């Protein structure tokens, strides 16, 4: 999980750099998935040489496609938001995704919701209000985009849980990169900007970070309880604050730290109470 949040911070930083150089979010989304597929190519080549490509055959194409649509939407919205709000605030608001996952699991997976579920949601969004402080600072549309993206990623999480019941982790990652990249391609073509060698390197690094992020998170959830690994998500704020300050000159404030702790605490509370029921 520490690796997951580390590569997540790298990905967010690279997205911001590319967006500031006028690469459209749709192109960033497409190139990140293409880059991730390139990092998976040794695995694909190995399968082809051993004639075991049938191991990635799937009957869950509908679930994969649904997940990829939400992944495309969420990733693109984050790419839009990176130039609208400071990275520490963006990262903090993304902590609401586990809370939304808890609520969506009750609807899509038939898991019962209770008073603890809704209390954790209320506490979490109270943390968001502390971060954005409506009435005290000017509202930024980027905040809304990140909240919508968090909902998209929460939906991806629920669909991922269903997929992992029958699909191996690498197949899940492969189909996500492949289908999400395919969905993003026509949108990217509309706003395409030819990258130079430096930007190609940044895109490749983003693809690598995106691949490692997916690889790490799947293994973390496979090897430990959610209540054990979720607190480590807060390290994302540490990593992103470091890059935000040294690369973009952005400082994290006490309200963002306090709101993040409340959001993550609410998520841990919700997960623990659900586990007991």
- Judge contact between 250 and 16, C-beta under 8 A: no
> To 10 degrees, what angle do helices 87-94 and 115-132 make?
170
By CB neighbour count within 10 A (0-12 exposed, 13-18 middle, 19+ buried), where does 254 fall?
A: exposed
Report the sign of the C-alpha dihedral through residues 111, 115, 119, 120, in that order: negative
CA distances to 1, 29, 267 from 44, rounded to whole Å, are 25, 22, 37
CA distances to 69, 92, 187, 252 from 245, rounded to whole Å, are 33, 15, 32, 8
What is the three-class DSSP state of 134?
strand
- Judge contact between 150 and 75, C-beta under 8 A: no
- Judge contact between 85 and 143, C-beta under 8 A: yes
| DSSP state for residue 251 in the 8-state scheme | P
Q: How many CB atoms within 10 Å of residue 42?
A: 9
What are the residues facing 137 on neighbouring strands?
A: 134
Query: What is the distance between the alpha carbons of residues 241 and 218, in angstroms, rounded to a whole number?
Result: 25
- Supply φ then ψ for residue 137, to 5 degrees: -125, 155
User: Nearest-5° angle of CA 112, CA 117, CA 123?
Assistant: 170
What tens-digit pLDDT sequence spans the chain (277 residues)? 889 889 999 999 999 999 999 999 999 999 999 999 999 888 777 776 665 555 566 666 788 899 899 999 999 999 999 989 888 888 888 888 877 877 776 655 555 656 766 777 788 778 888 887 765 556 788 889 999 999 998 888 788 777 777 777 777 788 889 999 999 999 999 999 999 999 999 999 999 999 998 888 777 766 766 666 777 777 888 888 888 888 988 888 888 888 888 888 877 777 776 656 5
CA-based R_g, the chain, Å: 18
Query: What is the distance between the alpha carbons of residues 190 and 91, in angstroms, rounded to a whole number?
Result: 29
Helices (H), 50-108: 61-81, 87-94, 96-108
């Amino acid at each position: 999980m520490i690796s997951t949040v580390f590569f997540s911070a790298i990905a967010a930083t690279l997205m911001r750099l590319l967006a500031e150089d006028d690469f459209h979010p749709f192109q960033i989304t497409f190139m990140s998935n293409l880059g991730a597929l390139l990092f998976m190519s040794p695995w694909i080549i190995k399968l082809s040489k051993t004639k075991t490509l049938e191991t990635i055959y799937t009957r869950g194409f509908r679930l994969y496609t649904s997940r990829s649509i939400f992944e495309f939407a969420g990733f693109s919205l984050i790419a839009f938001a990176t130039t609208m709000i400071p990275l520490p605030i963006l990262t903090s608001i993304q902590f609401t995704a586990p809370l939304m996952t808890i609520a969506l699991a009750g609807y899509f997976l038939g898991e019962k919701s209770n008073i603890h579920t809704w209390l954790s949601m209320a506490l979490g969004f109270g943390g968001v209000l502390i971060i954005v402080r409506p009435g005290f600072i000017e509202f930024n549309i980027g905040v809304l985009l990140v909240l919508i993206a968090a909902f998209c990623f929460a939906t991806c999480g629920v669909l991922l849980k269903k997929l992992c019941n029958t699909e191996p982790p690498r197949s899940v990652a492969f189909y996500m990169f492949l289908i999400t990249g395919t969905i993003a391609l026509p949108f990217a073509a509309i706003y395409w900007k030819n990258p130079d060698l430096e930007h190609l390197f940044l895109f490749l690094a983003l693809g690598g970070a995106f691949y490692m992020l997916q690889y790490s998170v799947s293994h973390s959830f496979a090897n430990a309880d959610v209540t054990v690994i979720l607190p480590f998500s807060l390290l994302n704020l540490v990593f992103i604050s470091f890059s935000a300050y040294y690369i973009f000159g952005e400082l994290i404030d006490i309200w963002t730290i306090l709101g993040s702790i409340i959001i993550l605490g609410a998520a841990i509370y919700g997960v623990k109470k659900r586990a007991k029921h």
